[in-house]
């Protein structure tokens, strides 16, 4: 089968590799694979991985060759990209997504940017026909957003802010609205992404420089009840702390290399801000993400800027910085067919 393989940092190739089916694993024919900053960090070597490594962890495909239990041949499925041991103390507490012996497909084990992938049945979530193909590629990322917002004591009625209007920020804007936030302020530098955030439900948007004034105006000077930080830099975490109100919640969703950011501890202490650092997602989060898209509450399609065949992957990663308008890039046979 064809696969996108990292042979060394920066050396990405599309080539033929052997496909190995195993009896206890379900074979999935890959239809769509989104790529994100994690994939780019794996490819450029800033997240070191053992090579050769098939990359890709945002996978939607079709069950082939029959699957046990809840799966049938032809079912469209979302892959939970977390791998876990199932036996350690963390797994026994039900925190499979945090297994210290586990990891992420496409980084710690081979991924899904390929014609086929295999997975145990408990990592496959059926995607019903009510989810349009055009929206399905965002389901994995949305699952992590669902997981993150579950850590907020109350979204309903909250005056919310999203700092960073990339793919995850734009999903957070929609999810906050779907879960009943009173209003969402979107903060981002790009005018195009601010317009898209407004189209997807942000009540008002502004630049980071304008944010303090805008949020004060929207909240009667009290600050936000919920701030989702979706960038991952010291400056944006500090901005989130500034925009947060008393006894509010800041969700640090963006990930940054350790040691880069200096936490605004006094500001967080002064306002008794609850800071949460959610990671990955559980199976229940993925099922909720699927239901949200199936009901039309959250859209994925407006965030997809590029749909390309697998063969285009090396060139896209090599020239990523040449385009600033990119949001979600999706690879795969189903992607190239439309």
Question: According to the binding rule CB under 5 A, does residue 99 interact with Zn ion?
Answer: yes
Which is closer to Zn ion, CB of 17 or CB of 41? 41
* Cβ at position 328, least distance to Zn ion in Å: 9
Residue 281 touching Zn ion (CB under 5 A)? no
Contact 98, 279 (CB under 8 A): yes
Judged by CB under 5 A, the residue of 88, 178, 203, 294 near Zn ion is 88
**Which region, judged by CB under 5 A, interacts with Zn ion, from 101-109, 150-158, 204-212, 285-293?**
101-109
Span interacting with Zn ion, options 100-108, 113-121, 200-208, 323-331, rule CB under 5 A = 100-108
Q: Give whichever of 225 and 229 is closer to Zn ion, judged by the CB atom.
A: 229
Smallest distance from the beta carbon of 79 to Zn ion, in angstroms? 12
Q: How far is the CB of 92 from Zn ion (least distance, A)?
A: 8
Least distance in angstroms from the C-beta of 100 to Zn ion? 6
Question: How would you write 126-164 as a 3-class SS string?
Answer: ECCCCCCHHHHCCHHHHHHHHHHHHCCCCCCCCEEEEEC
**What is the nearest approach in angstroms of Zn ion to the Cβ of residue 214?**
30
For residue 321, give every residue at least 6 positions away whose Cβ sits within 8 Å of its Cβ, in sequence order, or none. none
Out of 5, 28, 33, 36, point to the residue binding Zn ion (CB under 5 A): 36
Site string for Zn ion, 125-144 (x = CB under 5 A): --------------------
For Zn ion, the binding residues in 46-85 under the rule CB under 5 A are: 58, 84-85
Q: What is the 3-state secondary structure (H, E, C) of the chain?
A: CEEEEEEECCEEEEEECCCCCCCCCEEEEEEEEEECHHHHHHHHCCCCCCCCEECCCEEEEEEECCCCCCCCCCCEEEECCEECCCCCHHHHCCCHHHCCCCEEECCCECCCCECEEEECHHHEEECCCCCCHHHHCCHHHHHHHHHHHHCCCCCCCCEEEEECCCHHHHHHHHHHHHCCCCEEEEECCCHHHHHHHHHCCCCEEECHHHHHHHHHHHCCCCCEEEEEECCCCHHHHHHHHHHEEEEEEEEECCCCCCCCCCCCHHHHHHCCCEEECCCCCCHHHHHHHHHHHHCCCCCCHHHEEEEECHHHHHHHHHCHHHCCCCCEEEECHHHHCC
Looking at the Cβ atoms of 58 and 225, the one nearer to Zn ion is 58
Report in angstroms how near the CB of residue 67 gets to Zn ion at its nearest.
Answer: 23
Q: Which of 3, 60, 91, 161 binds Zn ion (CB under 5 A)?
A: 91
Q: How far is the CB of 140 from Zn ion (least distance, A)?
A: 6
Examine residue 263 and tell whether it contacts Zn ion (CB under 5 A). Answer: no
| Smallest distance, Zn ion to C-beta of residue 300, A | 13
The nearest distance, CB 162 to Zn ion, in angstroms, is 18
CB closer to Zn ion, 91 vs 137: 91
| Binding segment (CB under 5 A) for Zn ion, from list 20-28, 30-38, 230-238, 250-258 | 30-38
Nearest to 287 by CA among 155, 98, 99, 122: 122
Residues in contact with Zn ion, total (CB under 5 A)? 9
206 forms beta bridges with 187
CB nearer to Zn ion: give 54 or 99.
99
Smaller CB distance to Zn ion: residue 49 or 91?
91
Q: Residues interacting with Zn ion, by CB under 5 A?
A: 36, 38, 58, 84-85, 88, 91, 99, 101
């Amino acid at each position: 089968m064809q696969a996108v393989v990292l042979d060394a940092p920066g050396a990405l190739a599309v080539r033929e590799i052997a496909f190995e089916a195993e009896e206890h694993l379900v074979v999935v024919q890959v239809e769509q694979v989104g790529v994100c900053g994690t994939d780019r960090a794996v490819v450029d070597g800033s997240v070191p991985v053992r090579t050769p490594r098939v990359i890709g962890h945002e996978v939607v495909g079709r069950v082939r060759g029959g699957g046990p239990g809840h799966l049938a041949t032809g079912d469209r499925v979302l892959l939970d990209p977390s791998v876990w041991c199932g036996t350690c103390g963390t797994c026994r507490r039900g925190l499979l997504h945090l297994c210290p012996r586990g990891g992420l497909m496409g980084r710690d084990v081979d991924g899904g940017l390929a014609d086929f992938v295999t997975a145990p049945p408990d990592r496959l979530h059926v995607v019903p026909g009510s989810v349009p193909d055009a929206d399905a590629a965002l389901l994995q990322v949305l699952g992590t957003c669902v997981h993150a917002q579950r850590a907020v004591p109350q979204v309903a009625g909250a005056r919310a802010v999203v700092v960073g209007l990339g793919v995850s920020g734009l999903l957070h804007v929609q999810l906050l609205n779907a879960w009943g936030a009173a209003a969402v302020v979107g903060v981002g530098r790009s005018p195009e992404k601010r317009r898209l955030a407004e189209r997807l439900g942000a009540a008002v948007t502004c630049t980071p420089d304008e944010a303090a004034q805008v949020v004060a105006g929207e909240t009667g000077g009290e600050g936000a009840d919920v701030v989702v930080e979706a960038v991952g830099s010291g400056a944006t975490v500090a901005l989130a702390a500034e925009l947060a109100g008393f006894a509010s919640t800041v969700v640090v969703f963006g990930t940054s290399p350790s040691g880069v950011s200096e936490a605004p501890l006094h500001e967080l202490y002064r306002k008794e801000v609850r800071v949460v650092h959610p990671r990955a997602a559980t199976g229940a989060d993925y099922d909720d993400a699927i239901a949200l898209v199936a009901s039309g509450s959250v859209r994925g399609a407006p965030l997809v800027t590029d749909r390309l065949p697998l063969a285009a992957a090396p060139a896209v990663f090599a020239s990523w910085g040449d385009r600033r308008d990119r949001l979600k890039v999706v690879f795969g046979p189903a992607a190239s067919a439309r």
